[in-house]
Amino acid sequence: MRGWPPSRVRFRGYERRLTATRLPGLGLAVLLLILGGCDAWFGRSSAPQTPEELEAELAKRQEKLKKKEEKKPDYQVYPLQCAPYPPLAEKPAEPETRQGRRLMIKPGHWTMAGIPVQANAADLLWDLHLAAKANPRGAPSLLGPMAYWLESLTTTAVPKGQARISESPLFLPAAGSAPWVELRAVDRAQRREVYAELTAVERMPPYQYLFVVLARNPDQYGFLGQLDSFRYPLDLSQEWDDRRVLRPILLPGDRPNSLPGGGLYWTSIAGLLWDEADPGALAPAQQQALLDWLHWGGQLVVSGPGSLDLLKGSFLEPYLPATSSGSQSLGAEELAALDAGWSPRGRDGVVQVLRPVRPWPGVRLARHPEARFVPQTGELLAERRVGRGRVVVSAFALSTRDLRDWPGYDGLVNGCLLGRPPRRFRQNFSTALNWSTFQAAWEDRPLEPPARHLPELLADPNASILRVQDLPDTTVAAESPSQLDPRRICRLW
């Protein structure tokens, strides 16, 4: 039997001839539509929907339509940061998080500042201008008595779909009121200003510096800010950031980080703790900046035992005070020197000894000829002078739970890791301390004419107590010349 005569069907603008060989499939589809209805053919239930279901479906469709109509901006700019800052997240914080942020900058020091930028529409190439301002109206912050101000310019390229930090140097004059930072971005292709912002910043106190932790697991050192050795010694009862002598900055050590690439921007960093960080993650400029900072007075603390193996053959190996000569297990017998030298006495007079729950993994330190073992630590800590700086290496992990829970840990950090003199705590209207090497009480008043002697006093790298000749009963005291604050006077009694 011959099939039906050929038919013509118009579908999406073109014709197609249907022959008898295609009709059985078409007839089956029509039959299914008739028997099951369109909803059955498309997998939907033929039961009527409730008003709640209809409302939910309508809201869902409106949300999808809104997302389609919503268009991302050509670029997104996030809050201003100052190096070293935490790593850039895959999805940076929204610009609304600027409210309530505290951006602290040390006056009289150079800082590498930057803003995270994400390019959405196309590759971005712009010039970033940064300058300190004296007030919210944008008046320039003058450089001392001179009628000049400073503005930096840096060119940054951001590929489409990526987020990067656009950085530029920033100098905050030492004198002046509460500062502001103005940033302007000029698109080099369009030759016009595409972004501008005026951000309020806070001045770091003169006695406060940064302490950077570069570790594989930096969160293990979140307790550092609670140590008395990191807090303001005149009032240990306060928990504010302003009441800290050292502000911890925790950075991951297994990937590129935000450490500045020039020694000029390291002057606000007092110490660096290295715990199993990858030396290859630092760019060559960062490595050179770290070495310059170390030779000019920085303190590097290396936490063992894994860090010593990772630093073999690295840029830091020539400056280490000791290397690993093999592993060892550290129990109560091996830790007896630490226990005897740094275990404090409680109020009842009982010594609060160090007793590990289980032996710690450690290494045997092979001392460098120019280094020495830290007193009252046995052979578990070694130190070495590098230029004006200092490197300390431990045979055990400084983040060990038993060590952190030990009451003598703060004294170990103060005396061994930071190299400060012993302390004597006293209770007055607030909890404070004195250095036990001399009796002193701090007073706040401006330094008088003897200030002219400060340059020659600061030139002495071994000065721990600096005496001003014009005032025989007055002594300027500082743990290191780099931390000297001319506005703080120490009067002997």
Whether the pLDDT of residue 215 is over 90: the answer is yes
State pTM to two decimals.
Answer: 0.72
Please write the tens of the pLDDT for every residue from 378-434: 899 999 999 999 999 999 999 999 999 998 999 999 999 999 888 777 665 555 555
Whether the pLDDT of residue 443 is over 50: the answer is no
Residue 178: per-residue pLDDT:
63
Per mean pLDDT, which of 50-64, 150-164, 260-274 is the most reliable? 260-274
Whether the pLDDT of residue 217 is over 90: the answer is yes
Q: Are 80 and 181 in contact (CB under 8 A)?
A: yes
Instruction: Mean pLDDT check: name the lowest of 99-103, 281-285, 460-464.
Output: 460-464
Instruction: Mean pLDDT check: name the lowest of 120-124, 249-253, 257-261.
Output: 120-124
Residue 487's pLDDT band (cuts 50, 70, 90):
very low
Residue 296 CA to residue 270 CA, distance in Å, equals: 11
Q: How much of the chain, in percent, has pLDDT values that exceed 70? A: 69
Residue 144: per-residue pLDDT:
79
What domains are defined for the chain? 1-41 (no CATH), 75-203 (2.60.40.10), 209-422 (3.40.50.880), 438-492 (no CATH)
HEC-encoded secondary structure of the chain? CCCCCCEEEEECCEEEEECCCCHHHHHHHHHHHHHHHHHHHCCCCCCCCCHHHHHHHHHHHHHHHHHHHCCCCCEEECCCEECCCCCCCCCCCCHHHHCCCCCEECCCCEEEEEEEEEECCCCEEEEEEEEEECCCCCCECCCCCCCCCCEEEEEEEECCCCEEEEEEEEECCCCCCCCEEEEEEEECCCCEEEEEEEEECEECCCCCEEEEEEECCHHHHCCHHHCHHHECCCCCCCCCHHHECEEEEEEECCCCCCCCCCHHHHCCEEEEEEECCCHHHCCHHHHHHHHHHHHCCCEEEECCCHHHHHCCCCCCHHHCCEEEEEEEEECCCCCHHHHHHHCCECCCCCECCCCCCCCEEEEEEEECCCCEECCCCCCCEEEEEECCEEEEEECCCCCCHHHHHCCCHHHHHHHHHCCCCCEEEEECCCEEEEECCCCEEEEECCCCHHHHHHHHHHCCCCCCEEECCCCCCEEEECCCHHHCCCCEEEEEC
Residue 74's pLDDT band (cuts 50, 70, 90):
confident
The neighbouring-strand residues paired with 132 are 181
Residue 295: per-residue pLDDT:
96
Q: Which is nearest to 85 in space by CA: 326, 230, 247, 263?
A: 247
Whether the pLDDT of residue 377 is over 80: the answer is yes
Mean of per-residue pLDDT scores for the chain = 76
Q: How much of the chain, in percent, has pLDDT values that exceed 90? A: 36
* Mean pLDDT for the stretch of residues 107-111: 91
Residue 95: per-residue pLDDT:
46
Please write the tens of the pLDDT for every residue from 347-367: 777 778 888 889 999 999 999
Residue 455: per-residue pLDDT:
42
Q: Which is nearest to 335 in space by CA: 395, 382, 273?
A: 395
